[in-house]
């Protein structure tokens, strides 16, 4: 039997989130539940004294100054959750929703939320009974994911849809079938169920880990291309001594991962920048991804609620603005665009021919064909798709709630753009691998290590190019395998960037973590 993941209000790692996403149960700690009860007692003391507490005995948003009578609170709480079930569009994967629920539980265990223990228990029960709300992904401006988390909270009241045992079903039917009554929210619990950024943080964790995996594969493919082009490794050795910490790691990785390969150095004084500057480009990207990843993980143990309980008081808070996470995720989008440009430039060098006597468009001698020249248009399209996602969103102006809510971070949309970048990067990796394999075969190069693995993968889906043919399906098939966990683990086993791979749990096959 799988041991439940303990939740105690401390920072969760990518490995823990991956296991929760894959279906592992969770268990809140006794100390965490004690903190919940302590925070609840402080909030109830404030209510008993007549203190107006936002979203607890008052309205929310544009109705923040509306005071509710005690006999109106049950109806208000029920309506508050159901009115925030307004998300639309395609749903998030179940794994992402599971992680979001776990993040909500974990931040509640800090004791700063003021919610009741019953709300925490209800969320734990959803996860452990595999009752996973269907959360449609469009409906948050990134200042508490109210339209997204509201779809989770609504399920607790018996409305909405859930995924249970692999089937999408009506929430009321599943709760009745399992003998669970809809939750009657205590004051404060309704707002605590929906006014947090847990979905945004969970989705960001998934997207960042996927980006980390893609960049690791692109490093390997780029190394294969560089070997085929006969790049000098001198600039990489230089980076290993003079670069930033991660640039140094990448420079060493490029040299050590290819140490035993047969290498035909075709350089004359120095190479094009796209070959020379791989440690700088990849190193900057890896460090940026790690910085963003840590910012997301930090939020798994920090309340972004409003109000909050601190120093035995109930205080209003601006913590629902995830500005730090939104900004660092956008910085990742910039660095991924640099990666995309680097890949595009290397592919132009491969297809242009000349280095090491490679033919133009990688058409073998004596063959009547157009070759891979047209495929550069696909690579250019993919590069522009990545680049087009880099314009900043978080500073955009937006005012709602009768002017009371005039800040936002747009984190879910920023994450969605990161996901689009990663999808394009996976296809770029597949196409560069195809071009590098063709070039290596034209030159009759020997291959070792990562190059041998990538070359073999390409040839399982795409034969050596001797005549013009459609490439669409072949590129997609290469993409499917090159992005698979099994292949990524092979690459990491052959050559690991230890700190980076360990941080994102790339060195272990964490189901549900991607």
pLDDT digits (tens, 9 = 90+) for 166-210: 999 999 999 999 999 999 999 999 999 999 999 999 999 999 999
**Mean predicted confidence (pLDDT) in 123-133:** 97
pLDDT score, position 148: 95
pLDDT score, position 170: 96
Q: Among 333-337, 461-465, 493-497, which stretch is predicted with the lowest mean pLDDT?
A: 493-497
pLDDT score, position 510: 56
Whether residue 270 is found in the same domain as residue 170: no
Residue 219 lies in a domain: yes
Q: How many folded domains does the chain comprise?
A: 2
Read off the pTM: 0.95
Max alpha carbon distance in the chain (Å)? 91
**Structure-token pair, residue 180:** 């669970």
Residue 509 lies in a domain: no
Whether residue 308 is found in the same domain as residue 443: yes
Instruction: Give yes or no for a contact between 361 and 352, defined as CB atoms under 8 angstroms apart.
Output: no
Whether residue 247 is found in the same domain as residue 380: yes
Q: Which residue, 164, 130, 162, 175, is CA-closest to 25?
A: 130
pLDDT of 513 above 50:
no
Whether residue 43 is found in the same domain as residue 58: yes
pLDDT of 39 above 80:
yes
**What pairing do the DSSP bridges indicate for beta strands 132-133 and 161-164?**
antiparallel
161-164: strand order across its sheet: 132-133, 161-164, 167-170
pLDDT of 289 above 50:
yes
Q: What is the CATH classification number for the domain harbouring 341?
A: 1.20.200.10
**Size of the chain in residues:** 514
Q: Which residue, 251, 414, 391, 206, is CA-closest to 324?
A: 414
pLDDT digits (tens, 9 = 90+) for 354-368: 999 999 999 999 999
pLDDT of 512 above 70:
no
Residue 5 lies in a domain: no
pLDDT of 1 above 70:
no
What are phi and psi for residue 352, nearest 5 degrees? -70, -25
Please report which helix (H) or strand (E) contains residue 314, including its range: strand 313-315
In 3-state terms, what secondary structure has residue 262? coil
Of 445 and 61, the structure prediction assigns the larger pLDDT to 445
pLDDT score, position 70: 82
Residue 66 lies in a domain: yes
Whether residue 149 is found in the same domain as residue 245: no
pLDDT of 51 above 90:
yes
Whether residue 414 is found in the same domain as residue 270: yes
511: pLDDT confidence band, cut at 50, 70 and 90?
very low
Euclidean distance between CA atoms 239 and 256, whole angstroms: 13
Domain end among 180, 196, 212: 196
**290, 295, 299, 301: CA torsion to nearest 10:** 70
Of 397 and 404, the structure prediction assigns the larger pLDDT to 397
79: pLDDT confidence band, cut at 50, 70 and 90?
confident
Whether residue 219 is found in the same domain as residue 100: no
Whether residue 176 is found in the same domain as residue 209: no
Whether residue 184 is found in the same domain as residue 227: no
Q: Which residue, 467, 496, 1, is CA-closest to 249?
A: 496
pLDDT of 402 above 80:
no
- In this structure, is the dihedral angle defined by the CA atoms of residues 346, 352, 356 and 359, taken in order, positive or negative? positive
pLDDT score, position 308: 97
What are phi and psi for residue 279, nearest 5 degrees? -60, -40
Whether residue 424 is found in the same domain as residue 452: yes
pLDDT score, position 396: 86
pLDDT digits (tens, 9 = 90+) for 496-505: 999 999 999 9
Domain end among 129, 163, 196: 196
**Mean predicted confidence (pLDDT) in 264-283:** 94
Of 131 and 80, the structure prediction assigns the larger pLDDT to 131
Domain hosting 184: range is: 11-196
pLDDT of 235 above 60:
yes
pLDDT digits (tens, 9 = 90+) for 420-430: 999 999 999 99
pLDDT score, position 69: 83
Q: Among 1-10, 19-28, 285-294, which stretch is predicted with the lowest mean pLDDT?
A: 1-10
Q: What is the CATH classification number for the domain harbouring 95?
A: 1.10.275.10
Euclidean distance between CA atoms 329 and 411, whole angstroms: 9
The listed range with the strongest mean pLDDT (5-9, 52-56, 137-141) is: 5-9
Residue 513 lies in a domain: no
- In this structure, is the dihedral angle defined by the CA atoms of residues 402, 404, 407 and 409, taken in order, positive or negative? negative
**Average model confidence (pLDDT) across the chain:** 94
pLDDT score, position 123: 98
What are phi and psi for residue 410, nearest 5 degrees? 60, 35
Whether residue 255 is found in the same domain as residue 275: yes
**Mean predicted confidence (pLDDT) in 440-463:** 96
pLDDT score, position 509: 60
Domain end among 173, 196, 219: 196
Euclidean distance between CA atoms 266 and 270, whole angstroms: 10
pLDDT of 130 above 70:
yes
Whether residue 269 is found in the same domain as residue 186: no
Residue 128 lies in a domain: yes
Residue 61 lies in a domain: yes
Residue 1 lies in a domain: no
pLDDT of 6 above 60:
yes
pLDDT score, position 415: 97
């Amino acid at each position: 039997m799988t041991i439940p993941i303990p939740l105690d209000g401390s920072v969760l790692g990518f490995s823990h989130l991956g296991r929760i996403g894959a279906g592992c149960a969770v268990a809140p700690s006794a100390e965490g539940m004690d903190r919940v009860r302590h925070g609840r007692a402080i909030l109830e003391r404030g209510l008993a004294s007549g203190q107006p507490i936002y979203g607890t005995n008052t309205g929310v948003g544009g109705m923040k100054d509306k005071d509710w009578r005690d006999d109106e609170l049950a109806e208000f709480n029920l309506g508050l959750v159901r009115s925030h079930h307004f998300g639309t569009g395609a749903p998030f994967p179940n794994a992402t929703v599971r992680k979001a629920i776990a993040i909500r539980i974990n931040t509640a265990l800090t004791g700063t939320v003021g919610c009741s223990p019953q709300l925490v228990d209800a969320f734990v029960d959803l996860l452990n009974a595999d009752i996973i709300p269907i959360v449609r992904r469009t409906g948050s401006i990134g200042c508490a994911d109210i339209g997204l988390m509201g779809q989770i909270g609504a399920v607790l009241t018996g409305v909405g849809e859930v995924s249970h045992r692999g089937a999408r079903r009506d929430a009321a039917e599943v709760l009745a079938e399992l003998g669970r009554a809809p939750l009657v929210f205590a004051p404060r619990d309704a707002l605590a169920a929906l006014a947090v950024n847990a979905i945004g943080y969970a989705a960001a964790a998934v997207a960042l880990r996927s980006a980390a995996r893609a960049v690791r594969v692109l490093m390997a493919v780029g190394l294969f291309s560089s070997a085929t082009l006969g790049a000098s490794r001198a600039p990489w050795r230089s980076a290993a001594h003079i670069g930033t910490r991660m640039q140094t790691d990448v420079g060493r990785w490029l040299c050590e991962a290819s140490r035993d390969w047969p290498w035909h150095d075709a350089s004359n004084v120095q190479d094009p920048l796209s070959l020379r500057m791989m440690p700088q480009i990849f190193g900057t990207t890896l460090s940026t991804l790690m910085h963003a990843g840590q910012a997301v993980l930090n939020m798994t143990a920090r309340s972004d609620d409003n109000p909050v309980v601190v120093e035995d008081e109930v205080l209003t808070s601006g913590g629902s603005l995830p500005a730090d996470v939104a900004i660092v995720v956008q910085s990742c989008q910039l660095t991924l665009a640099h990666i995309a440009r680097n890949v595009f430039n290397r592919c132009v060098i491969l297809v242009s021919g000349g280095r090491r006597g490679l033919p133009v468009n990688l058409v073998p001698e004596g063959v009547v064909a157009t070759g891979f020249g047209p495929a550069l248009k696909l690579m250019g399209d993919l590069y522009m798709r990545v680049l087009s996602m880099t314009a900043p969103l978080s500073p955009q102006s937006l005012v709602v709630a009768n002017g009371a809510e005039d800040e936002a971070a747009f984190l879910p949309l920023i994450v969605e753009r990161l996901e689009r970048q990663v999808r394009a990067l996976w296809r770029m990796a597949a196409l560069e691998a195809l071009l590098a394999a063709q070039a290596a075969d034209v030159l009759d190069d020997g291959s070792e290590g990562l190059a041998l693995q990538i070359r073999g993968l390409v040839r399982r889906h795409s034969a050596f190019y001797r005549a013009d043919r459609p490439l669409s399906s072949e590129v997609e098939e290469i993409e499917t395998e090159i992005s698979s966990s099994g292949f990524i683990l092979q690459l990491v086993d052959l050559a690991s960037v230890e700190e980076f791979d360990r941080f994102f749990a790339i060195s272990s096959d964490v189901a549900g973590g991607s």
